[in-house]
Structure 1
Amino acid sequence: MIKANNLKKTYGDLEVLKGVDLHIQKQEIVSIVGASGAGKTTLLQLLGTLDVPSNITESSLEINGVNVNGLNDKNLAKFRNEHIGFIFQFHQLLPEFTALENVCIPAFIKKTHKKEAEKKAKELLDFLGLSHRFEHKPNALSGGEQQRVAVARSLINSPSVVFADEPSGNLDSESAENLHQLFFKLREEFEQTFVLVTHNKDLAAMADRCLTMVDGRMV
């Protein structure tokens, strides 16, 4: 599913990633842990194609059989929209739109017909226990509900892999536990692969594999 080799990232004189190799299987749930500043979020941004390695000609990144380093900007954006889902610590919902509209946005970018997108969004929100919240805007939702809307949004285009950066870091303990259980339920239901960056030891321990980063390297 994901094959990354020799990923490096520097910002000026600061070497954040020092040559990371990572292979993840289809439907695997992998957690990445490490101290702040270890390079976890930077790695997730490279894997999610939100950023590019500093050594792009000397590294490789293959997702779902596609060499993403070889794609131009237009094709990369299309690939990201269709194959990759993102969940962030701060849900990044657009406040002026309802839960249903927020979930539909990636589908609209994909040019999915409005009726089809809304049908899929409603199915996802219903699956996540939010069928009574379709028309509510983010400020009318609890933190856990907002994060579940963000999860639905990440799944709307049926991505091959979902990247989550501290997905439960802004939730109370009960909501965090519910979200953690949800990832495993989603894996069984939709056959997604999940890569989770987290400081939550319980979530990290639940994953199929827990990888540790120290000073820009996997250890």
Structure 2
Amino acid sequence: MAILSARNIHKRFGPLEVLKGVDLDIEKGEIVSIVGPSGSGKSTLLHILGTLDQADGGSVSISGVPISNRSQVLRPAPWWKRLINLLVDVPLSFALAEGLSRLLHRSGADLEPGSPQRALLGGGVIVAYFLLFESFTGRTPAKWLTGTKVIAGNTPVRPSFSACCLRTAARLLPFGLLESLSFVASRPVGWHDALPDTVVTDSKLPYLPRGTQSLEGKALADFRNQRIGFVFQFHHLLPEFTALENACVPAWIQGKGKAATRQRATELLTLLGLGHRLEHKPGELSGGEQQRVAIARALINNPDIVFADEPTGNLDSANARDLHELFFKLRKELGQTFLIVTHNEELAQLSDRVVSMKDGRVIS
């Protein structure tokens, strides 16, 4: 079973599309390196997989827990499609109501023009047109004409009756009034909510498949602290803390006992060859030693996976090779899983598997 699974990851910064549908699986205990030229999207992908950034589209799960699930690339339907839908739907629904009223009147029903019964029937037909037709088909005739679809994930679906009600309101009411209705949706209604670039929704209301809610807010922060470790190019150690204290920080944030945490940090630092440097501050350590402290910090909470972004980029060649060999030692001793972004092709070849990226896509 894959400890990390990513599907169809998209990311855009303004007009620049950085990730163009990336799929990736990492098995438990694997050491995988991602390589590619600058600007290929390696670090952006790593940050999304590590929950430090949010994808515009796609899904990510770690140990079976969905941490990111955006099956839609968000943008509003074109105004002209919404206008055409409205101009076709409203007259057509009134025409259907009038036609049915006349037909029933000719068959003997007491439906004189202007009567309350006729008005009630007409209103019922209009409501049925907007709501029932959409709840069964996902479209009205106007949407067939304009090619507008409603989808969840990558599969066309029929929206619920309550969703059709909200969508009708989205056509007829100013967007600001929809804020009070957002509790009905699976997440707040937003103007930029829509569907993939090839498909657009007919209103301002988003549709998400049920049961696919991902972590967010404090729950996501707690998951990141407990289940994910990070090692960056620069160690980012706290200069006023000792090596032992720096390694303890994530566990202290989680609320673990001080004595047990210090014992665990001591064991990790000793395993990493720093047992004699526990009370030294970062300024008293070499670059390689500082990075080893950062690795101990990443491992302190026994994470499911460690993400390393150019971990050897600030080290000389000897220390860089030692660090990569250290990853294998940690895999053997602790069963740890690593995903490493690196420009160093030679060091990447030491990994179990190399993933090559170019222009926002995985090419091998």
**TM-score (structure 2 length as normaliser):** 0.59
Asked if 1:29 corresponds to 2:173, the answer is no
CA distance in 2, matches of 1:135, 1:80: 27
Q: Matched residue of 2:301: which SS?
A: coil
Letter in 2 for 1:109: I
- For 2:307, the equivalent position in structure 1 comes to 163
Equivalences for residues 1-219 of structure 1 within 5 A: 1-55=3-57, 59-69=58-68, 70-219=214-363
Distance in 2 (CA, whole Å) between partners of 1:105 and 1:202 is 33
C-alpha separation in 1, matches of 2:271 and 2:31: 20
Question: Which segments of 5 or more consecutive residues in structure 2 lack a partner in the other structure?
Answer: 69-213
Counterparts of 1:207 and 1:41, CA distance in 2: 18
Q: Give the superposition deviation at 1:174.
A: 1.3
1:35: how far off?
0.3
Letter in 2 for 1:150: A
State the shift of 1:139 in Å: 0.6
- Could you say what secondary structure the match of 2:265 adopts? helix
1:26 is displaced (CA, Å) by: 0.8
- 1:192 is displaced (CA, Å) by 1.2
One-letter amino acid of the counterpart of residue 9, structure 1: K
Query: Post-superposition shift, 1:89?
Result: 0.6
SS state of the match for residue 349, structure 2? helix
Deviation at 1:54, TM superposition (A): 1.2
Identity %: 61
CA displacement at 1:132 relative to structure 2: 1.1
Q: Distance in 2 between matches of 1:209 and 1:80?
A: 24
Q: Deviations over 1:122-148 (max 9, x none)?
A: 000011111111111101000000000
Distance 1:13 1:201 in 2: 30
CA distances 1:170-206 after superposition (whole Å, capped 9, x unpaired): 1111111110100001011111110000011222101
- Deviations 1:90-135 (Å, cap 9, x if unpaired)? 1111111110110000000110111111010000001111111111
Tell me the secondary structure at the aligned position of residue 206 of structure 1.
Answer: coil
Q: Which has the higher contact order (CA 8 A, sep 6+)?
A: 1
Q: Distance in 1 between matches of 2:224 and 2:350?
A: 27
State how far apart, in whole Å, the 2-side matches of 1:80 and 1:93 are: 18
In the superposition, the TM-score normalised over structure 1's length comes to 0.97
Equivalent in the alignment of 2:137: none
Partner of 2:93: none
Match for 2:272: what amino acid?
A: L
Gaps of 5+ in 1: none
Secondary structure of the 1:31 match is strand
* In structure 2, C-alpha distance between the alignment counterparts of 1:164 and 1:72, rounded to whole Å: 23
Distance, in Å, in 2 between the alignment partners of 1:166 and 1:115 is: 33
Residue identity opposite 1:61 in structure 2? V
Distance (whole Å) between structure 2 residues aligned to residue 14 and residue 94 of structure 1: 35
The structure with the greater share of residues assigned to strand is 1
Q: Deviations over 1:3-42 (max 9, x none)?
A: 1001111111111111111011111110000000100000
Looking at CA atoms only, which structure, 1 or 2, has the larger radius of gyration? 2
